[in-house]
Structure 1
Amino acid sequence: MHHLLTAGAQRALIQAERIASSSAEAEPALAPLLAALALEESRAAEIMLAHQVDLALILQEFQLPLPQDPAISPLDSPDQPLEMSQALQQYPDFREVLNHAMQQASRSDIPTEIGSEHLLWGLLASAGQESEWLHRKGCLSAEKLDESINDVFRQTAEPINVDFALRTVAATTGDQTNTLRTIDAAANRLREGLRVIEDFLRFSLDDAHLMSLLKSTRHQLTDALRFIGTDALISSRDTLNDVGTSVSTTSEFDRSSLEHLLQANLKRVQEAARTLEEFSKLISSEAAAIFKQMRYASYTLEKTILTCIASQRRLENSRLYLLVSESLCHHGAGPAIRESLAAGVDLVQIREKSMTDRKLMVHGKRVREWTREAGAMLIMNDRPDLAIAIDADGVHVGQDELPVREVRQIVGPRRLIGVSTHNIEQARQAVLDGADYIGVGPTFPTATKNFAEHEYAGLDFVKQVAAEITLPWFAIGGIQADNLKQVLEAGATRVAVSSVICSHEQPGQITRELLEPFSN
């Protein structure tokens, strides 16, 4: 920002830093800047004086010290003010003023430096005691100041005649050919990388949903190259004289695993997309815009694929997921949890809607001890804050709770995030949002949630997800020992249950019965 500040604005920021450093407040408000603007002989000082606001009034009102040496020597370097005002920029209030000042200056029809008057406007536009005092004392507001600041800059003038002319040199045929060669090579790299990733998704991950996303990216490549011209690209190709074909590194031939191979080609796609985006700007802005979209899409694709692989590994042995509610448990939550853990459950969710936060935290810590002793994972329903408080392995949210992005910011990168989904569109979106697993249902009527009859996703939804999605997912909703076979035949390999275990007189016995089909 330093090259946009006038000398007066630069001096005002330095004075503000001096005054702030002499103030007793640990985090200064905006009063030091207000005093500095009044101290500096500038446009801002003139405006304030016109409204009967001077330096003495400001110092008295905000009890500020006056710098012992108010004079500032001329600045030799435009970089100096920025370095000297770094202390101010660490405070949000000052950054807000600078942002407002920049916006005000940018509203001019001609290029305008940020002056002291813009800093004053930024201060008035910020909600604080200083702006309120200026309005009360001098009837000075951002709205009133706006017109006087910009009137002079909105005036148009005839251009100045000069005795020289600027010439632009047109690109040569050789320049155009070299640009097309670069685009052609990068397009080939991107296409090849996409093919490798597609083959991985097809034969290793077997994920139809992610394959469809990848195919749409390939279609985007075709659309973008139409703006460039495929004939021109082929005509410009010169593989025999491409010096890059003879340069290689040993790491190119080192692929330690399928995951390593996948990551290498994801990076190849991203790098090629960036080259295409930049060089196509010389040929077609439409193509450049498409390549930019492809680059961002590749970042999402990378995250989604790697999350899927990591979640499959982490939940590989989790087949029966127990959702525990105290009110459903025949002998209380404790016996149900401990007996089911002993029988083989390795994933437990605390699902309490009526407990107070304090009681829920105490209960959660107790369940955390039981699951840890059994080597099982613990999930907290709906509450990322309590998931952290009890050191749970993750949190589960529904369609009406916090989105995955916000939950991830709370719980961090290592805890699992599960999402309830009720149709295939929600399931696809949860995958792209970065969920570690999804709940798929309700499959049958359930005692834990009330759904209208037409809202039951049923076994058809289970079949849809089984055909498309390889991110770990659990069929959920009304699953019992007598209908479990139907769910597995529909394609589910994991199920989540609640009342069938919690309300059973012998939770361990029914748990073993439910786990038996998974061992066959």
Structure 2
Amino acid sequence: MPHLPIDYSLYLVSDPYDPAAPDRYFNRIRDALRGGTTLLQFREKKASSKQLLNIAATLKKLAGPFHVPLIINDRVDLALAVDADGVHVGQNDLPARVVRRLIGSEKIVGVSAATVAEAVQAEADGADYLGVGSIFPTRSKADATVTSIDELKAIRRAVHIPIVAIGGIDRANLRRLDPADIDGIAVISAILSQQDVTGAAKKLKECFLQLGDSL
């Protein structure tokens, strides 16, 4: 397990990379980091392996000055190649126990879970945290399995590792979540689709922290 505590409060997942506008892509990620992003996941399904390597290496450099860990979605080889801080896998990717064996005990392993059974298995396999959702409808992942808030609560009771809620979360619906159930929120469009990316990140993080203050 990682030695340093991880702040899961504002977990940003990257939006699709546009090779025709790389500066815009990286600038918006940088703006989100300036706004208080605490964890960054690189998720890209269409680029070539060479492109993925170059993008991931650039993101690692961007996140470094902000002391924000970089998580690579799915690709263990890519995470190792750029010395990323961890890997996030879904239910159809490599099992967490295999990922852990490949990347070692010091790296972060995250697992997507939509049910109690998946969450319990992920924890048993050595996951450091869970990405639970989709909590609300989302355009970012058309095939996402919906996880009810009741199921989220059941998952919280069943596991001891941090939980990051994901899926369609924004400032309007965030207050529907119980701060006792989650350690953070993962978003894409609520930050990266906004005109003022830095401002959107700041406001969303403030809303999440205020949610916790209500406990």
TM-score normalized with structure 1 length: 0.38
> Which residue in 1 is equivalent to 2:83?
391
Q: CA deviation at 1:327?
A: 4.8
1:501 is displaced (CA, Å) by 1.1
- Cα separation, 1, equivalents of 2:113 and 2:189: 20
Instruction: Give distance in 1, aligned partners of 2:192 and 2:84.
Output: 21
- CA deviation profile, 1:336-380 (whole Å, cap 9, x unmatched): 211111111120000000010101110111110011111110000
The structure with the greater share of residues assigned to helix is 1
Q: State the one-letter code of the partner of 2:142.
A: N
User: Partner of 1:406 in structure 2?
Assistant: 98
Partner of 2:16: 326
Contact 2:108–2:128 (Cα < 8 Å) also in 1: yes
The residue aligned with 1:459 is 149
Equivalent residues in 2 for 1:355-366 (5 A)?
Answer: 355-366=47-58
Residue identity over aligned pairs, in percent, reads: 36
Tell me the secondary structure at the aligned position of residue 195 of structure 2. coil
Query: How many residue pairs were aligned?
Result: 207
In the alignment, is the contact (CA less than 8 A) between 1:422 and 1:457 conserved in 2? yes
Secondary structure, counterpart of 2:41 in structure 1: strand
Measured after TM superposition, the shift of residue 479 of structure 1 is 0.6
Query: What residue is the counterpart of 1:314 in the other structure?
Result: 5
| Alignment match, 1:498 | 188
Hey, what does 2:164 align to over in structure 1? 474
- For structure 1, which runs of at least 5 residues remain unmatched after alignment? 1-306
Asked if 2 retains the 8 angstrom alpha-carbon contact of 1:348 and 1:378, the reply is yes
- Unaligned residue ranges in structure 2 (runs of 5+): 211-215
Alignment of 1:75-474 (within 5 A): 307=1, 314-315=5-6, 317-327=7-17, 332-451=24-143, 455-474=145-164
**Structure 2 letter corresponding to 1:513:** K
Distance in 2, matches of 1:470 and 1:333, equals: 35
SS of residue in 1 equivalent to 2:177? helix
Amino acid at match of 2:163: W
> TM-score, normalised on structure 2?
0.89
Written as runs of structure 1 = structure 2, the 5 A alignment for 1:5-44 is none
1:502 offset after TM fit, Å? Answer: 1.4
Q: CA deviation at 1:519?
A: 3.2
Matching residue within 192, 203, 208 for 1:513: 203
| Shift >6 Å, 4+ stretches | none
Distance 2:102 2:70 in 1: 17
Tell me the SS of whatever aligns to 1:314.
coil
Q: CA deviation at 1:446?
A: 1.1
- Indicate conservation of the 8 Å contact 1:459/1:490, yes or no: no
Bigger RCO (CA 8 Å, 6+ sep): 2
Q: CA RMSD in A?
A: 2.0
Q: Which amino acid aligns with 1:356?
A: S
Does the 8 Å CA contact 1:417/1:436 hold for their aligned counterparts? Answer: yes
Question: Secondary structure of the equivalent of 1:488?
Answer: coil
